[in-house]
Amino acid sequence: MALLKRVIVCLDVRRGQVTKGVKFQGNVDLGDPVEYALRYDEQGVDELVFYDITASAEDRNLFLDVVENVAASIRIPFSVGGGIDSLDTMRAVLLAGAEKVSLNSPAVRNPELLAQGAEAFGAQCIVLGVDAKRVEQTAAIPSGYEVVIQGGRTPTGRDALQWVVEAEERGAGEICLNAIDTDGVRDGYELTLTRMVADAVRIPVIASGGGGEPAHLTAAVTTGGADAALVASMVHYGDYTVGQIKAAMAADGVPVRLTES
């Protein structure tokens, strides 16, 4: 039996509210994270991802109260990212009820965090979040994709492909790959980048940035080689339910977990 492909909903959180922007800009606040989490749980989503999108930029810890409230309300796995820069913070997030922690900017600054987290909690709990932007190919960035940190604000000069390979070696158990160029545009995922990363690592890859219709998710997990596809705008604004997305993917021959809803 083929491994099931996952549909994951991303909830960016700012000042305690779910928010959404385009290419990391122009964010609009939408509502309460717990209400959104319950909605997608009922619709049959496989996992949720919560990002405190300004924690790193504002150099502060993330929203543990939100994590606890979500954990008390839903039945599905979820991961949390944003401002997680120490083992103590990872432990606090996991104890608050998350199944995984997502490390992005802090891991770039201190890659040893990945190894420390994997040793303490298991690689299955450690997700590497990568925000990548297409740039000119150079000797320093041979893939043509650069890692950008602090919520898309700060270029690093690091090659995205080299970074995901290093991160796997250091202990990351999964990669959430967000393409800044397609984020929120809803014209489809960055399939070139997704396939490049999926072929370079052995751990699961989540395609993120650009989902606008179910066919885009099908392309991400087939052409792009991803193990899962992450969506936000297309469900937040009511264009599709999770169930509708999965039904369309199944009709395209993609193995997914179908639910009654």
Tokens of 3: 């491994």
Tokens of 122: 């298991």
Which pLDDT does position 61 carry in this prediction?
55
Which pLDDT does position 130 carry in this prediction?
96
State the Cα–Cα distance between residues 126 and 115, nearest whole angstrom: 9
Tell which CATH architecture fits domain 6-251.
Answer: Alpha-Beta Barrel (3.20)
More confident residue, 152 or 80: 80
Tokens of 24: 């990391």
Secondary structure class of 125 (helix, strand, coil): helix
Q: Which residue has the tokens 């922007």?
A: 21
DSSP state of 180: T
- Tens digit of each residue's pLDDT (9 = 90 or more) over 215-254: 999 999 999 999 999 999 899 889 999 999 999 999 999 9
- Tens digit of each residue's pLDDT (9 = 90 or more) over 162-191: 999 999 999 999 999 999 999 878 899 999
State the Cα–Cα distance between residues 81 and 186, nearest whole angstrom: 23
- Tens digit of each residue's pLDDT (9 = 90 or more) over 14-44: 777 777 655 555 566 668 889 999 999 999 9
Active-site amino acid positions: 12, 131
Domain locations along the chain: 6-251
Tokens of 225: 């080689």
Q: Do 207 and 236 form a contact (C-beta atoms < 8 A)?
A: no
- Tens digit of each residue's pLDDT (9 = 90 or more) over 97-139: 999 999 999 999 999 999 999 999 999 999 999 999 999 999 9
